């Protein structure tokens, strides 16, 4: 318990989960609501949104690394021409590294959850929405009080999947930040890998950390199951 890296990894995993889960949820639901209406080029927009999920994570992470490169990357070049001083260092900065990884994950995964939400939206009853509209409810009210409750099973599934996936995050850290700078993006799974396979292997300790991760995921999932079933 006196292991500082472990503590950092534990906290970072929670921060990452708290950052990605609501953001991905909101983005994918918003996108699904947009693309569930009648718009032109709907299939094109749906395909484009799903694109990042299809591509290999390693490949797109490499591209992101270059685009967000602090010195040469196009993003910072554009910011510099716009007159921004103090250019963000993205993956190389202690404060922005986690944000960069979170943004990348949201970008990568929102298409997949958008498809799940689209499937959920197909299953909602349009008559209820029409009835609410005739009763004079605003679009916002219809969304919160009619559509969203019908999507509850979908939302539950998405939240569970997102939470478990964000506790298991490893590839993003390995590709973009290598757990650095310092321990700013060290997460539990990346720490497990480091302890078990890098330098002097400590399989026992790594297994112990894995058990902590297992208990953490189990605990959070049980809480979520309890929370959702008590609402019914």
Partner 1 sequence: MATTAVKKKTGSMKAQHVVSRVLIYALLIVVAALMLIPFLWMLSASFKLNKDVLYVPH
Tell the smallest beta-carbon distance from residue 157 to partner 1 (Å). Answer: 23
Query: For partner 1, which residue of 11, 18, 58, 67 counts as binding (CB under 8 A)?
Result: 67
The verdict on 203 binding partner 1 (CB under 8 A) reads: no
Regarding 121 and contact with partner 1 (CB under 8 A), the answer is no
User: Which two three-digit tokens encode residue 128?
Assistant: 């209820």
Least separation in angstroms between residue 99's CB and partner 1 is 16
Three-class SS string for 187-231?
CHHHHHHHHHHCCCCCHHHHHHHHHHHHHHHHHHHHHHHHHHHHH
Residue closer to partner 1 by CB (options 77, 207) is 77
Which region holds residue 41: left if phi is over 0, alpha if psi is between -120 and 50, else beta? left
Tokens of 178: 């290598």
User: Does 56 contact partner 1 by CB under 8 A?
Assistant: no
CA distance 165 to 19: 13
Q: Which of 8, 9, 25, 60 binds partner 1 (CB under 8 A)?
A: 60
Q: What are phi and psi of 54, to 5 degrees?
A: -75, -40
Least separation in angstroms between CB 141 and partner 1: 16
The interface with partner 1 within residues 7-36 (CB under 8 A) comprises 31, 34-35
- Rounded to a whole number of angstroms, the minimum distance from the CB of residue 41 to partner 1 is 8
Establish if 58 lies at the interface with partner 1 (CB under 8 A).
no
Q: Return the closest-CA partner of residue 58 out of 165, 166, 170, 162.
A: 170
Which range of residues in 40-48, 174-182, 202-210, 216-224 is near partner 1 by CB under 8 A? 40-48
201 binds partner 1 (CB under 8 A): no
Using only C-alpha atoms, the chain has a radius of gyration, in whole angstroms, of: 21
Q: Does 43 bind partner 1 (CB under 8 A)?
A: no
Query: Between 64 and 113, whose beta carbon lies closer to partner 1?
Result: 64
- The nearer residue to partner 1, 56 or 229, going by C-beta atoms, is 56
- Give the closest residue to 28 by CA, choosing from 86, 100, 115, 101: 115
Asked if residue 211 binds partner 1 (CB under 8 A), the reply is no
Question: Is there a contact between 198 and 178 (Cβ–Cβ < 8 Å)?
Answer: no
Is residue 133 helix, strand or coil?
Answer: helix
Quick one: which of 2, 4, 56, 72 contacts partner 1 (CB under 8 A)?
72
Closest of 12, 11, 3 to residue 195, by C-alpha: 3
Q: Is 90 helix (H, G, I), strand (E, B) or coil?
A: helix
Residues near partner 1 (CB under 8 A)? 31, 34-35, 37, 39, 44-45, 48-49, 51-52, 55, 59-60, 63-64, 66-67, 69, 72-74, 77, 107, 111
């Amino acid at each position: 318990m006196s292991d500082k890296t472990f503590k950092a990894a534990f906290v970072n995993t929670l921060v990452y989960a708290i950052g990605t889960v609501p953001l991905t949820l909101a983005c994918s639901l918003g996108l699904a609501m947009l693309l569930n209406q009648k718009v032109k080029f709907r299939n094109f927009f749906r395909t484009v949104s799903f694109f990042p999920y299809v591509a290999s994570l390693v490949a797109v992470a490499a591209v992101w690394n270059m685009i967000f490169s602090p010195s040469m990357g196009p993003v910072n070049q554009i910011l510099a021409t716009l007159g921004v001083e103090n250019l963000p260092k993205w993956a190389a900065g202690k404060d922005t590294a986690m944000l960069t990884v979170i943004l990348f994950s949201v970008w990568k995964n929102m298409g997949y959850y958008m498809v799940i939400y689209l499937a959920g939206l197909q299953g909602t009853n349009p008559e209820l929405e029409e009835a609410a509209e005739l009763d004079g409810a605003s679009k916002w009210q219809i969304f919160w009080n009619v559509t969203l409750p019908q999507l509850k099973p979908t939302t539950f599934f998405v939240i569970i999947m997102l939470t478990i996936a964000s506790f298991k995050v490893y590839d993003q850290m390995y590709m973009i930040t290598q757990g650095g700078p310092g321990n700013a993006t060290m997460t539990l799974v990346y720490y497990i890998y480091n302890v078990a396979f890098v330098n002097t292997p400590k399989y026992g300790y790594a297994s112990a950390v894995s058990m902590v991760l297992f208990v953490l995921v189990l605990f959070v999932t049980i809480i979520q199951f309890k929370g959702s079933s008590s609402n019914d």
